[in-house]
Amino acid sequence: MATLDFLNGTEPATARPMRTAPMAEKPTLIGLSREDMGKALVEKGVPERQAKMRVSQLWHWLYVRGVSDFDHMLNVSKDMREMLKTHFTIARPEIVEEQVSNDGTRKWLLRFPARGAGRPVEVETVYIPEEGRGTLCISSQVGCTLTCSFCHTGTQKLVRNLTAEEILAQLLLARDRLGDFPDRETPAGAIVPSDGRKVSNVVMMGMGEPLYNFENVKQALLIATDGDGLSLSKRRVTLSTSGIVPEIYRTGEEIGVMLAISLHAVRDELRDMLVPINKKYPLKDLLEACRAYPSLSNARRITFEYVMLKDVNDSLEDAKLLTHLLRGIPAKINLIPFNPWPGTNYQCSDWEQIEKFADFINQAGYASPIRTPRGRDILAACGQLKSESERMRKVDRMAYEAMMIAGHGEDD
């Protein structure tokens, strides 16, 4: 794990195996809408006339204070807390491992119950500290149904969708571990301001295709952006998709967060091979959906991800076609040097060619940052996330899609 660190003359990352209590199989209150939370309470004997007030209390403790123990809900009666403990859970997932990189990047391997998968499932969540922001990369599925030929996650079968609770739990746990919730004793009027948060931005760019788990992702993101709770700005939440066109329209209408597109090719015949979902939703349909995305402006741009593959998609002709395709779309283009993994036939473009590609796009008026590795010493690679028993040799797994995490979402 630390081989690259010693070669580079740096200290290795810290890795701490951890064991916390696994999630109980009681119904959870995390991830429920206010309406559904109220119904759940009424079913357990809370009078209907009190339900709205109780939901308001619980919402505050769960999403403003970040408590994970009913006993910490100080203004809830003891009898009510006992009823809640008997019938519900608000526990965090089990942390199998936590790693902290030298540059502040953190990675958590989290374990969730089987829920039909046959055995407990594991996902990784990655935190990238940046200048003026902290970005959390969240997974939406265990495995993936897509078979993008350059992506290691594409070699894994879909195990199951994550629930709204499990998607939100990644955010709640990260804020716990980073000290991003107010202390339990903090007076009600002295909540930590939003601009002091360590997790200021969220990207749905971890394992899985978020738009193939639309309802759970929608529910989780609406709670994450609720102004009376976690209160993330929708301009600081980015959903990344390979191009599920019908749900792109729904995302704009029903969720309203920022959009990122895993593009990677400018011709249908090549994208059919790199991103096979293109056969169902070709570039013309994808870009129509992008142009129709609500509230686009220079302050609300779509990010197009473009992995640089040597002699595949990195010619200046590709760059010209890219700027032509995106004409009229407020856009930012992230150029991502490919990180080879065992068994792949692709190579990373030469650095000189990447710079020429970026210069052409910049001259055409598009921001085109070249992403550089983050968390290299813990190899925080969202597109290549696997459980410990399945993952590649760690010295071969550089921070490939961690490069995709940084820089997403606008600064309010």
Give pLDDT, residue 407: 62
Residue-by-residue DSSP string for 67-121: --SGGG-TTS-HHHHHHHHHH-B-PPPEEEEEEE-TTS-EEEEEEE--TTSSS-E
Name the fold adopted by 94-378.
TIM Barrel (3.20.20)
Q: Is 387 annotated as ligand-binding?
A: no
Q: Do residues 54 and 46 lie in contact, with contact meaning Cβ atoms separated by under 8 Å?
A: yes
Q: Is 262 annotated as ligand-binding?
A: yes
Q: Is 151 annotated as ligand-binding?
A: yes
State both tokens at 189: 């009027």
Give pLDDT, residue 137: 94
pTM for this model (two decimals): 0.84
Label the pairing between strands 160-161 and 258-262.
Answer: unpaired
Is 382 known to be catalytic? Answer: yes
Q: Which residues contact 99 (CB under 8 A, 6 or more apart)?
A: 13, 14, 15, 16, 106, 107, 108, 378, 380
Q: Is 208 annotated as ligand-binding?
A: yes
Per-domain residue ranges of the chain: 34-87, 94-378
Q: Is 209 annotated as ligand-binding?
A: yes
State both tokens at 119: 């055995």
- Identify the bridge partners of residue 260 per DSSP, sorted by sequence position: 240, 303
Give pLDDT, residue 116: 82
Q: Catalytic: which of 124, 165, 166, 247?
A: 124
Is 124 known to be catalytic? Answer: yes
Average confidence (pLDDT) per 10 residues, the chain, 412 residues:
28 46 73 97 96 96 95 93 97 94 89 88 91 91 69 66 96 94 65 71 91 97 96 96 96 97 96 93 97 93 94 96 95 88 81 94 89 53 38 37 56 54
Q: Catalytic: which of 137, 290, 348, 382?
A: 382
- Identify the bridge partners of residue 14 per DSSP, sorted by sequence position: 100
| Pairwise CA distance, residues 221 & 212, whole Å | 15
| Pairwise CA distance, residues 339 & 396, whole Å | 9
Please report where in the chains the tokens 């958590």 appear, as a residue: 108
